[in-house]
Chains A and B, each alone.
Chain A
Amino acid sequence: MSTATITADAGHGHAHGAGGVTHVEHQPHHTSLGLDNRKIAIWAFIGSECMLFISLISTYLIYKGKSVVGPYPHEKWTDPNSGETFNAILNIPVTSASTFVLLMSSLAMVLAHSAVVNRHAPKTTTLEKIFGSSKLWLLVTILFGVTFLGFQAYEFTSFVHEGLTIKTNLFGSSFFTLTGFHGAHVTVGVLWLCTLLAMDMKRGLQPEDALIVDLSALYWHFVDVVWIAIFTLIYLIP
């Protein structure tokens, strides 16, 4: 392997020798700002994602209350042709539970990051050992993320059974688009976290790996804050 290749690989925390992977000291990427390019990139990405989700939320709010036919989110509706009555379609208790699950996943994620950063800190008490297990907190975050997706799958399925699809009315179109995009982001986040957990299981995430955990944590927390906005604007405000 040439010197140039080793130098390039060292930026990612390891160099590939003839006998396999050899860990070397992690070096931050040197930039004119003194900041890591990857972290600047994730913040720029999150900024652009803000604009994406605000546009979807705007669409929902603009079309709110303008559906010609039901079912409606917060009110009952009777079909004038068939006489069939549809209840208010949003299920606040279920969504409140899924919101709580996503909030707790953010807590688990930040504890996973903290565990990686403080990997070498002495752990004497049981609580310190629990807080110091990045594998545990990554697994908890993934499980909470999957649970949230399960809640969303249940919600979407029940809506379709109750007569609301993406084609039914303006509410259905804007609602499924917004929450569907959010669910897709959660799915990507879960897959990303699975790769981190696999790395942790294989070689153990070290303080030098804190940045790659930080990048995924930022993405995950962003997905959480988007849901905070969606929960209030779509579900709680009639």
Chain B
Amino acid sequence: MAHTDAAHAAHGHDAHGHHPTPMEYVKIGGILTAITIWEVWAYYIPSLVASKIFIPMLLILSAVKFAIVVMFYMHLKYDHKLFRALFTGPLLIAMGTVMGLLFLFGKVAIRLAGQG
């Protein structure tokens, strides 16, 4: 790619990082589309929706899509570690908060109270 090391440094990119080519971006877009089709297909299979693996499967697929966009389209895989910290730090705090709130007020709390 025509990106110079100086330009990488100015933007905070790792000078040794290899940015995907346009065709690689298109392939990544194809993977994201395939995962989305998989998610929607699963939604229309009643036996799968009723099974215990449905929700974990959707959460994993969603997390994979999230990670792909963040790493490759947002270039976090190639960027300076400070940017990773600025993103993943608040994200982890937020994930901890949502888990805490669901345990306190959500269905998880109701289930635990029912057992008690």
Contact = CB atoms under 8 A, between A and B. Distances in A.
Contacts of A104: 29, 33
Interface of B: 1-3, 7, 9-12, 19, 21-23, 25-26, 28-29, 32-33, 36, 39-40, 42-43, 49, 55, 58-59, 61-62, 65-66, 69-70, 72-75, 80, 82-83, 86-87, 89-91, 93-95, 97-98, 101-102, 105-107
A40 B82 contact: yes
Contacts of B83: 39-40, 43
Given A61-B98, A238-B49, A50 B91 contact: yes
A60 to B, nearest CB: 10
Contacts of A51: 90, 93-94, 97
Contacts of B62: 228-229, 231-233
8 contacts: A62-B102, A96-B36, A104-B29, A104-B33, A106-B32, A110-B25, A117-B2, A207-B2
A173 to B, nearest CB: 15
A232 B58 contact: yes
Contact of A61 (B23, B49, B93, B102): B102
Contact of B86 (A36, A40, A121, A221): A40
A47 B86 contact: yes
A174 interface: no
B93 to A, nearest CB: 7
Contacts of A55: 94, 97
A46 interface: yes
Given A47-B89, A111-B25, A100 B94 contact: no
A54 B100 CA distance: 12
A221 B102 CA distance: 27
Which 10 pairs, one residue from A and one from B, show the smallest C-beta to C-beta distance? Answer: A28-B10, A54-B94, A47-B90, A107-B29, A232-B62, A43-B86, A131-B22, A35-B12, A58-B98, A121-B2
A35 B10 CA distance: 6
A33 B10 CA distance: 10
A217 B70 CA distance: 11
B86 A106 contact: no
A99 B36 contact: yes
A111 B28 CA distance: 12
Nearest to A96: B40
Given A54-B98, A114-B22, A34 B90 contact: no
Contacts of B75: 214
Contacts of A33: 82
Contacts of B26: 107, 111
A92 B40 CA distance: 8
A227 B58 CA distance: 14
